[in-house]
Structure 1
């Protein structure tokens, strides 16, 4: 592809306007278009030709509906339009490029004419709120909604761009077996069930509104008619107007006005004006499935509406016998006679399809003769009983998780949270329990899948099943350890509970054959001891997750001794890795590095490639960022990248984790553009893999915001911090340390922009939360006090700044001891206030104390030492001692040049000031 240099070639522009470029080529072209007026004008001219072609195909659109009018290269917010995907009576969909996250999205605009005049603004506002509700969902069978907004009065949705076609197109490409059809509809049904579980109703389910991606994954889409269900919780319902829902796009047959939906799929009660609910979605699903299997819908629209002359469609024999009863129940005219839920319908379809297979197998022997037939019948009956027993055993295997997380455990955790006496305890339980529910359901499904793969499908041998069982036992032990800690939660554990639950490794990894085959072999005689060790390590992980680092360190150390006694390299590696992680959390980076190196050697000895990758990725951070040795950190990053490429069990999340770690190294050396690129890449992966509301998504947003902030892009940083704050408030609630920290970061952005009053306001909000949640003497409170003091100093409020800095220093010294590096930072800040107050001797005393502390704690070549030397040089210069000042500045410059490189902005600034001092 040529033309991506100075300007785009005309054939490139033509291919772009018609949507014929690859995703990578589209992204490259969109980046060029952002800065090239000439190419945008030529692309617009080419696109107008295409739009004219589309308009000729829409001659039947209703009067008053706007035609597609955006051309390739146009902008909707931050999105660059690439090409038109489709247009219909209700809306227009464009492919677009999101430069912030470097990905393609689908932009859907709802037509002006479909919003009633007086109610247009209210209806548009309600659609935006509905989009926000959809964005809270994270389900593999639902198209992800990323963003929503307004464009020239119209509402737009930014959604996941799915390469592929619709379920209807999939059905038409070739004749499909009933089993294949049911499998695709069951996947779509899971998406509907997820919608219903979130208190939402689709209202327009049909094969045209289900996408089948190139990866074969089914996604329910076209959400313009989604509404909150009547039984939804108040916390969701209160954000929606009772106004009539907006119509969706894509098909002129969708009814508007009093009725909403596609007539052929609408449940009878909707024709009578009843409110749509999960049961009417179930009816539409059964109509669509009947149509796919039989080749005809079960009713005409006239039958559904009760109109005269309506008729039932003749029933044929293409529907497997076992599926007829579940479909008949789902198609019942009275809603209360349908299945209790989509989950119940899907379960019935699964049983029916299995029964149909058994009947077909039994019929094969009928022509052999009476005796042979009776014998075959007896054998088939016995086989059916055996299969049913195996299926029941697999269900029981999954049900073992209820012993860890059932009604009793849930009640215990809720009581434990309440017993802390914290006002936010009920909110924290409400936020934490769904993550625990989700993990337990994932474990149940993984256990059943592993069992069926071995005992029913026969696709796994006994060795692979044993490896899966070990993996599942380890995962269950880790989950049980966390639940135990939450049953006895203190105030610190309460603040970390939601995060700990959200960060549990999914049990579904135990169903991945490639990853299972990577697990080292454990001799049969040592398996019992090995499992006991896994339990002890799991407890150390859980104690760390809830913030009890001292207890976690003790548990990890005891596990380490037992692991070494066992002689099993993988367990030694896991124990070393756990203990090293705790050293990192407690700020002992030298011990963390040494432990990681031992863990890596043990992991390589055990051929545990997944563990070796995790250890190497942490070395990138500990060496490159925490120890401020970026060149070595990059070497470890290259090693981790090689391991990623060679490890068959690696996942996109492993790469995202490495990107985040490497981005921190780029922060150290001041390469903020590269840090931003890595954070954006990690963010895109985490959103796709974890959903838009996972805490790790918020962390990537915070990292990206910090990189933008360092580049001086304060508006972008503020928007990213705002998005992270929205996630954290939803996931953790408004009273959480992560919320306070993001408010703290927003304050820093406003301070950098010179908006000192705004910065003070954000710091004060962060301080109020931190004091309530952490208590008045927590180091996190001191962090905000210190930085608020910096703002007050900048505002000229020196007395207020002095009070804040003095209180921060007292907290640090009580909580961390007099020799902690954060004490040194506090001394440095307090010295600057004393300098402004006209007390240079006191300022010099504080700086000198900070210098000695940093040299003891961090070594003489750390950048913190250089920073204090710089401040002391300025003090000596102001006192007229230029030679002393130059000597101090020379030392500071040498430290910065060695640690950050001679081209780092701070090193360059320091060199300039040193030259000025030496010239005096």
Structure 2
């Protein structure tokens, strides 16, 4: 037992000193209660853990000593809590045997786990993601049981989970120390004490960092954050771990900023994370074997039918190649306030893409992969995929991209109706098969989409440099639609560089090329931008109005959506403003704004591709 002057050092400090005496001087090991202290295992934020020997039951135990001086009220609360937990038995929770006190120091006696922490275990070389997931699932089972009994862990992290030599996983330090510290500070704060000193941990939920109360869902956040990092992911900046998309989606939901958007419970999360049962695997295996046998018989019976199916499959360029689900979860994590809107837009794009893909499958099975309709729609899908991929890549790697940027870029991507209405545009690019043509220019299409993405979020210098370097390669590829897109972007970049004469010439080339090859959407865009250069910048009003007329003829002839006529009307309004016809300018602008709002909804507040120009339309009336 400690002497009066030794008490000031605290029980854990005295035990440590006594162990040193025992080793150096041969003195007896210190005794706490009925436990002989053997060695110090570690020191944490709330106390020191020792390995001790229970002579009565002939077993080793872990003794955790708290050196804080508690009030009678605090001691009573912690004792009552510990007594409830002392009878709590679970395979994945360290068992609590006893709670007692020496003078004013509380200590708890727990199951001794002869092994290491989960943090050290998961860091060992050669660990696979499936092994790590298995260990965390075991820890999650323990955490779910704690929640089921009405308790909150409050400090879940890999250092507080133990793994023994046989690989058994047990959650430790489950809330006892945290409750003790919290209650003590609520009753009698110590000088310099802070109830938030633990909140700089990467496992602390956002609501805790802002002073909110701990809940089961804050434990869930800690669990998901720990597993996310263990699997190789990053939280700042957000980078998903290299594991299956379903696992990333499940963890991403548990990492949502708002607690109510996380999983309803740990049990629900574990059901999603849990690998499929052996029975399920057996069913799948049987189904696969049956399918293989069936396919083999089918191939023997009809090689021709198999060839048609293969051609059909070739049209299904699923968006999975973009790792869409994982990257969408990253967007949700970065922009939680806009997550529902972003998810809806991506879901709409995906559904439209799959619908057009299915229609192309029907064309392929009918043997019409060389038709104008097939070529136009297939290339439109390639545009969708390349632009969506460029947006996702930029948002994933560039932390300056905002939620509004993401929405703007998503609005710019062609919708299913646009792909269905696509005209024939590139049938003259060679005698090779359509699929080979599309495959060969795919890398150029992706790089062009990256440049367009940068221009859309007003990183114009980067976009201009990229398109200038890319343009010669696109010229050599010989695809008129791709080239007209590139020329339109290049002409736009020249506008921002104030090379206005050159910009007007390049945009004219883009318009003529797109018009010749029936790429009407690009032709209208090029004509509208040229109208802006000639009328608003160079004050060559007659030429500008002629360019606007060219665009309007195309819009009417091809019944293009109002977003295109709205784009041209914006430029006509600007010209009227330049000519000091203010009432006329306001009337045209208001009509254009109505068209654009009807076409793109609430996203019309930002400058979209069909509205490329020098100012958002909502600024127009103020300038007038």
> TM-score normalized by structure 1?
0.31
Q: Which has the higher contact order (CA 8 A, sep 6+)?
A: 2
Q: TM-score, normalised by structure 2?
A: 0.44
